[in-house]
A and B are shown apart, each in its own frame.
Chain A
Amino acid sequence: QKEVEQNSGPLSVPEGAIASLNCTYSDRVSQSFFWYRQYSGKSPELIMSIYSNGDKEDGRFTAQLNKASQYVSLLIRDSQPSDSATYLCAVNKRVGSARQLTFGSGTQLTVLP
């Protein structure tokens, strides 16, 4: 079982719709969860972080975390063509004295005009 799993997609939504991206993780000691956006050929950029159960909203983005179900999601409201990218879920867990960030393989999102 992969440590962090995402549906690879591609996921297509029409402009203005809500895009829902999902991620599950295997290690219950994981403490911090992140969503990165990566445009083709570019480096990942952090768009959301979440540390406790529930929802966290930032503009059009909402991250949701359920530690009991080991599930984290990202909702993008009013999707725009500029949101078309690959979205990477990342889980940060403590390994000894260090923190390791483990990434999922990403979900490719296309927002259709």
Chain B
Amino acid sequence: EAQVTQNPRYLITVTGKKLTVTCSQNMNHEYMSWYRQDPGLGLRQIYYSMNVEVTDKGDVPEGYKVSRKEKRNFPLILESPSPNQTSLYFCASHLGTGAHEQYFGPGTRLTVT
């Protein structure tokens, strides 16, 4: 089954404790993205990747890091989480140029206290 998976689905952590949210897709997609969703603000892109070892900032990259060492995986790293990073996070992927449908993962609800 074609899908994007994220782990964990729910996470409660404390300020400053490094965490990683994993994202994996099995569709051989070139493009992958991370979004955060907050009430009234919609989906905002954090980082995106056009291929292995190629990443770039989205609209709200501050406080986040990503890496793309393999085509299927695109982890999101919060080196020192803060309460304002409490949000619902989605990973998404799509095939690339000419293909426009993004496939979203199930979401990770993160709470930073």
Task: Tell me the complex Cα distance, A101–B107, Å.
Answer: 18
Query: A interface, how many residues as a size bin?
Result: 20 to 34
Q: Tell me, in angstroms, the Cα distance from A99 to B59 when the chains sit together.
A: 13
Among A34, A97, A100, A101, find the residue whose CB has the most chain B CB atoms closer than 10 A. A101
B45 touches A101 (CB 8 A): yes
Within 8 A of A (CB), among B43-102: 43-45, 48, 50, 56, 58-59, 90, 97, 100-102
Residue of chain B at shortest CB distance from A46: B101
The answer to whether A98 and B104 have CB atoms under 8 Å apart is no
Q: Cβ of A80 < 8 Å from any Cβ of B?
A: no
- The dominant DSSP class at the A interface is strand
Closest to A34 in B: B100
Which of B42, B90, B97, B100 is in CB contact (< 8 Å) with A49?
Answer: B100
Specify which chain A residues have a CB less than 8 angstroms from the CB of B44 in the assembled complex.
Answer: 103
> Which of A32, A102, A105 touches B100 (beta carbons < 8 Å)?
A32
CA of A98 to CA of B94, assembled, Å: 12
State whether A98 and B48 are in contact (beta carbons under 8 Å apart), knowing that A8-B40, A92-B100 are contacts in the complex.
Answer: yes
User: Contact residues of A with B, CB < 8 Å?
Assistant: 4, 8, 32, 34, 41-46, 49, 88, 90, 92, 97-106
